Amino acid sequence: MKNMKDKVILITGASSGIGRQLALDLAKQGARLILVARTEANLIQLKNHIESEGGYTPAVWPIDVGNGSHVDELLPRLLEEMPHVDILINNAGFGKFNNFADADMKEIEAMFDVNVIGLMRFTSHVLPSMMEAGRGLIINVASQAGKIATPKSAAYSATKHAVLGFSNSLRLEMKPYGISVMTVNPGPIKTNFFEVADSSGNYTKNVEKMMLTPEKVSGEIISAIKKGKREVNLPGWMNAGAKVYHAAPGLIEKVGGRFFNQK
């Protein structure tokens, strides 16, 4: 997919952060967007902005990705209007950083509902038309936390491990149908994600200098789409650290304690 013009692209979590930046950047390249998020007002604001910049008018759908019955009710209606989706970007997600012993199980369930089950649910609705057409791309936004877990992120890391496992299996299943699966594994990004994840502000303060920008991540994702990459891993040094961790986890945990305990 070297040309985004007229490609139908569905983005979840489109009203802020990476999702919003992707919408802005893909609109400039002539994509036909379907934008999904919980807050309709934010979606309309984004829609108006894209229109003012001369892009195609996006379709906006306020859908709570973590509400299964809501998704199952509204997504088929959406797909009736736009029967073939070229690219699905499963971007919606959230995290909460705390010690597992202090965690609220309802909060953990909500994370899995959005980060994992919601992602799978959107994928299951979109796949049939992709399989029939013999083409398509699923992009699942995971995290470096799915490759190397750190203290105070047990549940969040578990959701991202699940996304990676699901994506790697799905990629093999869909290859005969001409459908590709890409994972995006960023480190910390300067978005409103941390307003929920890091209510103390400590983690944000400790890693602020190494945070990625939404513009950087969006640019790397779009470049990876055009190059047909399997994964996007950002920043490079953090992904290298994850590879070393998997080769020698005990050693890295012993010498990397200060780095791991940033939250």
Q: Which residues are tagged catalytic?
A: 156
Q: 3-class secondary structure for 20-75?
A: HHHHHHHHHCCCEEEEEECCHHHHHHHHHHHHHCCCCCCEEEECCCCCHHHHHHHH
Structure letter (DSSP) for residue 245: H
d(CA 207, CA 194): 11
Q: Are strands 32-37 and 179-186 parallel, antiparallel or unpaired?
A: unpaired
Nearest-angstrom CA–CA distance, 111 and 160? 10
Judged by DSSP in three states, 188 sits in: coil
Which of the 8 DSSP states describes residue 85? -
Cα-based angle 42, 29, 191 (whole degrees, multiple of 5) = 40
Q: For residue 19, which amino acid is it?
A: G
Write out the H or E segment, with its range, that includes residue 233: strand 231-234
Strand arrangement, sheet containing 8-12: 59-62, 32-37, 8-12, 87-90, 136-141, 179-186, 231-234
Q: What is the C-alpha to C-alpha distance for residues 136 and 110, in angstroms, rounded to an integer?
A: 29
Tokens describing residue 36: 């999904």
